[in-house]
Structure 1
Amino acid sequence: MLKSISQNIPSNSRRTLLASLAAIAFASSFSCAFAANEQGPKIAKAPKLVLVLVVDGLPNEQVQRYRHQFGEGGFKRLLEQGAWFGNAHQAHGITVTAVGHAAVLSGAYPYQHGIIGNNWLDPQTLTSIYCTEDSQHTYLNEDTKASDGTSPANLRVSTVGDELRYATGNQSKVITVSGKDRGAILLAGKTGTAYMLMKKSGNFASSTYYMQNYPEWQQQFVAKKPQDRFYGKQWNTLLPEQAYVGDASDDIVAPSESSNSKRFPYVYDSKSGKPDAEYYEKLFTGPYVDELTLEFARAAIDGEKLGNNSAGVTDVLGVSLSSHDYVNHNWGPESKMSHDHLQRLDRLLAAFLNDVDKKVGLDNTLVVLTADHGFSNVPEFSQSIKRDANRLEGSKMLQALNQHLQEKFGVEKLVRKWSAPNFFLNYAAAESKGISRTDLENAAARFLLNYKGVANAYTRTQFETGMLPNDRISRLMQRGWNKQLSGDLVVVAKPFWYFGSANSGTSHGSPYTYDTNVPLIFMGKPWIKAGAYSQYAEVVDIASTLSHLLKIRMPSGAEGRVLTETLR
């Protein structure tokens, strides 16, 4: 054959060609022989289920501080059998629930995905917009207020679930559940199905965006009224008293004169003497809403046959556990209450993962656990350990800024409104008096830089031109600023300060590491190499990594990297 091919080719070229063809033939025969005698690397099958767990308001430091007290099968299993990143971050500047949840499966920052807060102001009308509100849709068989969260209309990008359903011709199922509407809706994306707990009725409900009638399994779950069984129960410490000796004193985090003066035992009841809206709302602060959320997730696995899809494709179950956020808001991450709640959540996760193992098999399940944000300490606790800490009251700051600008320029109300951490300036009024936009912005920013509790102030001009300092905080704030939606002046509080006017409790929302550093764990033996990873990682890396493993298109705004160091 080689001879026939070489006919009519000059002799000097013929030798070269014959040698090349012979080498190719030899290599091919060698490869075939090698393949016959050696087994190549196995390619792991696709997971039957992707389970995404988001713990609302869980700082990574709490997982590390209390890990020695975890039981078997919950956080301990994830930390030991999964790939855990200790230096993982929600890498945007405004670290609140909606923004963090939007990042998890979109892989996008707020400047792209458009969820810039839990609430924000319409820059034109200055009316408040809730992150998941949609006047075109209502809750199904539940009361709906004007600003309730009923759809992902404000989310501007796709998610992993959206891309998975696109790739499988909508055969993959994407179901999400949360105590908060924004926790479920922003994980579900545009084409998944979200269920959220109603504070008035205690039912898990959905909206007309997703369906017109509930599936039978949801109706059966709601009919049993599982939320009522906690009425009259007490939440008290799970562990021996000695286990909590390192926690902050109740006298600091829950002083008798404060609005959050309640301590253990925490009782779940109401003035009416029976389950009602007061009782259902009270359930959120403590372990029982998380218990209900995981029960509903179990019902969804059974009812929707998640992980056992008849089409043989991967399903997604997103579970956002809301209560840790409520507990930390009330008493801070340094409190006995937060410590105990995390231990109880650990046991709930252990039981849930055991059930997933029975129903789907953990070797068929790719598990991801993260959080939407961390938490600052209660200011009174920070002060007790010699930190400069306090609360920044926005209305007073707005009043002082307007007074200063009026004295400087002779024009009233040059700041139209405030919505933490955004100020909206009255450019039209300024320009009508010959005041340039940059002069107004710079005068406002200079004043705020000297305001007690303020660390920095960024202007619209800085964000639009990219003329920002080259430091971490500035980069995070740039990512969190959306040109169409955000304010004209954005303020960063000093470390351990936060925006609020209460006399107790704490919050989050800053670009500091106590708010950005969250747990990030992947677990799934066929796909993930277990271990503690020191590399820097971001929550937006979840979407890129899942897309790679599922062999689907990355979400439209995804900017994270594939965490290749964890992959088998």
Structure 2
Amino acid sequence: MTKKVFLIALMVFLSIDCKSQEKDKINHSPKLVVGIVVDQMRYDYLTRFYDRFGEGGFKRMINDGYNCKNNHFNYVPTYTGPGHASVYTGTTPQNHGIISNNWYDKFAKEEVYCASDPAVKAVGSDSEMERMSPHRMKTTTVSDQNRLHTQLRGKTIGIAIKDRGAILPAGHTANGAYWFRGKDEGKWITSTYYRNELPDWVQKFNASGKAKSYFKVWNTLYDIKTYKESGSDENTFERGYEGKETATFPYDLAKLKDQNRGYDIIKESAYGNSLTADFAIAAIDGEQMGSDEVTDFLTVSFSSTDYVGHNFGVNSKEIEDTYLRLDKDLERFFNALDSKVGKGQYTVFLTADHGAVHVPSYLKSVKIPAGYFDSKKMAEKIQAFVKEKFKAEDLMENASNNQIFFNYSALQKYNIDAEELQKALAHFILQEKQIDKVFTRSQLENGNYTSGIAALLQKGFNQKRSGDIIIVFDPATIMYSLTGSTHGSGLTYDTHAPLLFYGQGIRKGSTTAETHITDIAPTISALLGIAFPNGATGDVLPFVLD
């Protein structure tokens, strides 16, 4: 054989071999994908508390997986409902339609909740408040696409303390979504959208007394003197629980429960995450997740981090302890996946649904510009201005989520042009202190913004569901109590969220390149070799995939 012929033969062999390997890669998927959302988790919690984390939780994902260090939400508003929907649909509220947790429905003339559904009933509770489904979400999720790709053989289960944290990620085709009913019940429940009675494993878990076991003392996991990554335990920036004079450790949840809505106090403590991990581990067995070669999808949202943050703030001892305990719960959960599904047989991603601002009263105490906005006074000024300028009343139908909705019947009655009202009102509002920017419906419908807050607002603006005026506050200015943290803005404290990938098909490494929350679903879709969610606008992150 000549040298030339030999080289040609070798190239053909290598080409065939590479194609064979590529085919194997394309067709090989993990037995289970686990999507984890940590509610209200800022990226800097990973770095602030890193030295105190164990090796098996957050550090396992960081050191043995892929860390996207510059990951952001690419829309406003940064709330729980839109956050969970965007993670799993791979698009923003502009397309998936979940524009907030609650919003004003200008067609029904009423406020609606992102997961509410009057057509279904609760299962496992008699409460009329638990009628929930994903029907308001307009697009599919990556978990839906996995179900469609596997001819519904791949199973999807959603779990969270919060109903919206369980329902929206699991998508429209889920086999089940379970959330925790607190108050005087303390049970995991679902709705008739999924099934007419709780499965045996859920009933068994509810009867086990596991939830009740967390009515105990919440003290710091370690000596509180070693908690150097948070402020003083006693301060004026935290709300605390009813029945306890100071927001300081320890908290006897058994003694405080009657004054704090019963089982809700567990939801609002670090133990709510432990209960979620308990239930998620039970679900792996109960639903036989990852038990065959067809990929299943388990979505888990840890909601209690959000409750603790709202109550105590992002700089509190309570938030530090909550994350140290969550780290141990993650380690326990990953160990369960190792034993029940198998090491190297599953893929996990971990992110957040939004971040949170430092308590503005704290920021002001250290001379950082911050403040609180009085929406009631602003509404009165707007009404007076409109009445004087347009000689008409009732032109404003609703004000919510930093948006104003016009009463178009009144505009027609008084022969007022909607764009003229938009411009006049936007100019008036912009003169107010603590208002940074104002945008109109016309601007967001007709403009094409590619950067800055305007671009984030446009991606969060749903033409059919959003309002006519959108207001942007000054940095660290919120409509909230003087204690505790909140979120919702397009500033980095709300948009910068962790994004970790780990497990089968994932490289080890990290990047500081900017990534977006909407990139998660396309990346997992590419890993699985399935169609992207039908409204996806995010990109695949090729450097994450092995």
TM-score range, shorter chain: over 0.9
TM-score (norm 1): 0.90
Distance across 1 between alignment mates of 2:457 and 2:221 = 40
Could you say which residue in structure 1 is the equivalent of 2:277? 294
SS across alignment from 1:99: helix
Deviates more, 1:40-49 or 1:361-370: 40-49
1:365 and 2:354 aligned: no
Change (3 A) 1:149 1:397: farther
Distance across 2 between alignment mates of 1:38 and 1:109 = 37
Distance across 2 between alignment mates of 1:165 and 1:350 = 28
Q: Is 1:398–1:417's contact at 8 Å kept on the other side of the alignment?
A: no
Q: Greater Rg, structure 1 or structure 2?
A: 1
Deviations 1:7-62 (A, max 9, x none): xxxxxxxxxxxxxxx9x998874445557999975744310110111000101011
Q: Is 1:493–1:499's contact at 8 Å kept on the other side of the alignment?
A: no
Match of 2:290 among 287, 307, 315: 307
Deviations 1:457-514 (A, max 9, x none): 111111111265x5321101001111111111111111101123x2322210001110
Q: Is 1:149–1:181's contact at 8 Å kept on the other side of the alignment?
A: no
Q: Is 2:270–2:308's contact at 8 Å kept on the other side of the alignment?
A: no
Shift of 1:360: 0.9
Deviations 1:77-117 (A, max 9, x none): 11111111111012111000000000111101101101000
Distance across 2 between alignment mates of 1:548 and 1:138 = 36
What is the aligned-residue RMSD (CA, Å)? Answer: 2.5
1:492 and 2:472 aligned: yes
| Aligned residue pairs, count | 538
Identical counterparts, % of pairs: 37
Shift of 1:297: 0.8
SS across alignment from 1:252: coil
SS across alignment from 1:166: helix
* 1:489-528 aligned within 5 A: 489-500=469-480, 502-524=481-503, 526-528=504-506
Match of 1:155 among 137, 140, 149: 137
Could you say which residue in structure 2 is the equivalent of 1:208? 192
Could you say which residue in structure 1 is the equivalent of 2:247? 262
Shift of 1:257: 12
Deviates more, 1:51-60 or 1:64-73: 64-73
Q: Is 1:395–1:418's contact at 8 Å kept on the other side of the alignment?
A: no
* 1:62-81 aligned within 5 A: 62-81=45-64
* 1:76-115 aligned within 5 A: 76-115=59-98
Distance across 2 between alignment mates of 1:444 and 1:137 = 40
1:172 and 2:150 aligned: no
TM-score (norm 2): 0.93
Distance across 1 between alignment mates of 2:240 and 2:141 = 46
1:545 and 2:526 aligned: no
1:441 and 2:422 aligned: yes
SS across alignment from 1:51: strand
Match of 1:49 among 29, 32, 35: 32
Distance across 1 between alignment mates of 2:522 and 2:241 = 48
SS across alignment from 2:436: strand
Change (3 A) 1:257 1:119: closer
Deviations 1:377-436 (A, max 9, x none): 111111012122122232332122111221222222322221121111234333433432
Could you say which residue in structure 1 is the equivalent of 2:507? 529
* Residue identity opposite 1:495 in structure 2: P
Match of 1:428 among 389, 404, 409: 409
Change (3 A) 1:551 1:432: same
* 1:397-476 aligned within 5 A: 397-466=378-447, 471-476=451-456
Shift of 1:286: 1.5
Could you say which residue in structure 2 is the equivalent of 1:336? 317
Deviates more, 1:249-258 or 1:126-135: 249-258
Distance across 2 between alignment mates of 1:125 and 1:157 = 21
* Residue identity opposite 1:482 in structure 2: N
Distance across 2 between alignment mates of 1:98 and 1:38 = 43
Q: Is 1:394–1:420's contact at 8 Å kept on the other side of the alignment?
A: no
Q: Is 2:273–2:326's contact at 8 Å kept on the other side of the alignment?
A: yes
